Amino acid sequence: MFFHMVLERNMQLHPRHFGPHLRDKLVAKLMKDVEGTCSGRHGFVVAITGVDSIGKGLIRDGTGFVTFPVKYQCVVFRPFKGEILEAVVTMVNKMGFFAEAGPVQIFVSNHLIPDDMEFQSGDMPNYITSDGSVKIQKDSEVRLKIIGTRVDATEIFCIGTIKDDFLGVINEPGAAA
Amino acid sequence: MSGEEEENAAELKLGEEFLKAKCLMNCEVALILDRKYEQLQQMSDDPMNQISQVFEKSLQYVKRFSRYKNPDAVRQVREILSRNKLAEFELCVLGNLCPETVEEALAMVPSLKSKGRNHDDDAIEKMLHDLSLIKKFE
C-alpha cells in the first residue's frame, strides 16, 4: 500500500553551499539522498512531495559541515503481511513465480498456487489449469495476498499466495486482443 | 523487533506510524507521480536521468492498476468510501481492488466484519454499488 507521511532526517551540508540558495540546495540534496531508498521501517520512499520545515543548523566541530533537521512529506510504498494487492508476473519457473507490485518483488511458491494448476515448461513457461481456462505466465496480472515479508538494509522481499478465495489471475496478456 | 511479528493487515495491525499516516489509493498515487514527473520534465531535458528506479516502477505500476483515471472520479471515490467509517487502510484496499460482491469485499478486507463494527451486508453492498456507478459514468 502507498502512504503519504511526514518523515524527518538530519541533513549534512557542506559550507560551500551557504548563501542565498541554501534552502534550494538542501531540498535538492534531500531528494537525491532519499528518493528511491528503502528502509525496513518505512518501506520504499517513492517521491518527496513537500518540505514542511527546516530546523536550525548545527555546526559540527572540526569539519565546518552543518547539520539541519528537515521534516518532509513523501509518498512511501510499504507492503504488509496480510495485505491483498495486484501485481504483474515477471518470471515463471518450476519453483513458482515472481511478481512485481511497484518497487517490491513478491515470490509465490508452487505450494501456494492452487493444486489444479500444473507447471508447463517451454519458451513461455506457465502454470495452467487442466482444462486450459486459466493460465499464469510472464506479464499476467494476478491478485495475491502477502503472507510474509523479509527486510534487509536496502530491499524488501515478500512471499505471497494465490491459494485463497478471490485470488489469482485477473487478466492474461493478449486476452483483450 | 516485536512490532514486526505482530503486523497483520487483515486485522489492521500496521504499527502506530502507519495507522496515523494517510493511505493513498493507486489512482491517487498516479496523479501525484504524474505531476511530479511533468515537473521534472520541465526542469531538465532528460528526466529519466533524475528518476530513481523505484519512482519509475511505481509510476508504471499505479498506471497499470488505476481503476479511475479522472481526478474528479478519484475524489468522488474517496468521498463515498469515507462516508462509511472505514479505516484509511480499508478504504484504499477497497478503492484499489474494486470488489464486486459483498463476499468478495469481506475476503479482501476481513477487518470489516471484526467485532464492534456495524457494517451490515446491505451497507457494504450499497457502497460497492456506488463505486461501480462512478466507474460507469467516468
Q: Do A112 and A151 belong to one domain? A: yes
Q: Do A7 and A61 belong to one domain? A: yes
Euclidean distance between CA atoms B21 and B8, whole angstroms: 16
CA distance B12 to chain A (A): 9
Cα nearest neighbour of B6 on chain A:
A81
Q: Smallest Cβ distance to A4: which of B24, B104, B107? A: B24
Any domain includes A15: yes
CATH code for position A158: 2.40.50.140
Euclidean distance between CA atoms A117 and A105, whole angstroms: 22
Any domain includes A138: yes
The contacts found for A55-58 with CB under 8 angstroms, 24 or more apart, are: A57/A13
Q: What is the pLDDT of residues A32-41, one digit of tens each?
A: 999 999 988 8
Q: Compute the average pLDDT of residues A134-147.
A: 95
Q: Smallest Cβ distance to B18: which of A3, A36, A49? A: A3
Last residue of a domain, one of A59, A77, A95: A77
Extents of the domains making up chain B: 71-137
Q: Please tell me whether residue B86 adopts helix, strand or coil conformation.
A: coil
Any domain includes A177: no
Q: Which helix (H) or strand (E) holds B22?
A: strand B22-24
User: Which CATH number is B71-137's, of 3.40.1390.30, 1.25.60.10, 1.20.1250.40, 3.20.20.70?
Assistant: 1.20.1250.40
Contact partners, residue A84, CB within 8 Å, separation at least 6: A143, A144, A145, A146, A167, B9, B93, B97, B108
Q: Counting Cβ atoms within 10 Å, is residue B38 exposed (0-12), middle (13-18) or buried (19+)?
A: exposed
Any domain includes A142: yes
Q: Do A68 and A99 belong to one domain? A: no
Confidence tier at A121 by pLDDT (50, 70, 90): very high
Chain A contact present for B66, CB below 8 A = no
Domain count of chain A? 2
> Domain residues for A26?
2-77
CB B20 within 8 A of CB A3: no
Any domain includes A176: no
Q: What is the pLDDT of residues A148-162, one digit of tens each?
A: 999 887 889 999 999
**Residue pLDDT tens, chain B, 138 long:** 444 567 888 888 888 888 889 999 999 999 999 999 998 888 776 656 678 899 999 999 999 999 888 999 999 999 999 988 888 999 999 999 999 999 999 999 988 887 667 678 888 999 999 999 988 887
